[in-house]
C-alpha cells in the first residue's frame, strides 16, 4: 500500500510540473543530454515541438515522454520523425491543436488543460489499479502457499427462523445467535 501512495505522490508532482511544459522552451531545456543533436529528424527542437520532454534513465538515455498524453517512447533512431511516431502511438490533443499554444484563448486553454488532467488521472488511475490488483494476487498466492490449500467459500449459515439443531442427549444448540452472559 505504501508503494501505491508513493506512486500517487510522484504522479501528483508530475501533474503540476508538466503544466509548465506547455511552453516550448521549457520542453526544449529537458533535452540537455539527448543523443541526437543534429543532422537527423529527432533533434531536441523537433522533439520539443512534438510535445516531448526528455526523461532519460540509466539504462535508456533516449526516453522521451509527451507532457500532455504521457506517451513514453524509447529506442529512437536518427531518422525517426517525432510528430509521426507520436501520432502513430497516441491520439494526443496537443498534437492536433489548430493554432500555436500562445494564440489560444483562455477558454481553449482551459478545455485543453481539462483534457490533459483527465488523461493524466485515467493513466495514473489505471496504473494504480493494476498495481493494487498485482498486490492482491501476490497476497492471495502467499496465503495459498502458506496454508497449502485453495481458499474456499464458507458454508451457508442457517437462517434464524430454522429450528435449532438437535444435540445428542436431547439438548438443542442455537447457531449464530448471540448469547447472554448467563448462557455462557
Classify 29 as helix, strand or coil: helix
C-alpha cell at 159: 437462517
Instruction: Report domain 15-137's class.
Output: mainly alpha
Q: State the pLDDT at residue 184.
A: 44
User: Contact at 8 Å (CB) between 47 and 54?
Assistant: yes
Answering whether pTM is above 0.95, one says no
Q: State the pLDDT at residue 121.
A: 84
Q: State the pLDDT at residue 36.
A: 87
Taking only the tens place, the pLDDT of each residue in 56-105 is 888 888 999 999 998 999 999 999 999 999 999 988 998 888 888 888 88
Classify 54 as helix, strand or coil: strand
Taking only the tens place, the pLDDT of each residue in 118-142 is 888 888 888 888 888 998 999 988 8
Amino acid at each position: 500500500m505504501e508503494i501505491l501512495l508513493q506512486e500517487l505522490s510522484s504522479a501528483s508532482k508530475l501533474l503540476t510540473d508538466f503544466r509548465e511544459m506547455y511552453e516550448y522552451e521549457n520542453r526544449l531545456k529537458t533535452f540537455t543530454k539527448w543523443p541526437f543533436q543534429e543532422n537527423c529528424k529527432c533533434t531536441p527542437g523537433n522533439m520539443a515541438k512534438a510535445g516531448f520532454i526528455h526523461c532519460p534513465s540509466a539504462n535508456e538515455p533516449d526516453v522521451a515522454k509527451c507532457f500532455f498524453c504521457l506517451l513514453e517512447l524509447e529506442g529512437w533512431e536518427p531518422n525517426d520523425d517525432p510528430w509521426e511516431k507520436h501520432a502513430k502511438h497516441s491520439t494526443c490533443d496537443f498534437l492536433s491543436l489548430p493554432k500555436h499554444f500562445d494564440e489560444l484563448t483562455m477558454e481553449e486553454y482551459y478545455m485543453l488543460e481539462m483534457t490533459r488532467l483527465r488523461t493524466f488521472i485515467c493513466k495514473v488511475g489505471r496504473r494504480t489499479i493494476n498495481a493494487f490488483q498485482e498486490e492482491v494476487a501476490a497476497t492471495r498466492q502467499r496465503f495459498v502457499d502458506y496454508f497449502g490449500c485453495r481458499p474456499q467459500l464458507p458454508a451457508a449459515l442457517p437462517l434464524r427462523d430454522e429450528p435449532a439443531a438437535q444435540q445428542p442427549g436431547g439438548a438443542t444448540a442455537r447457531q449464530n445467535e448471540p448469547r447472554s452472559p448467563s448462557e455462557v
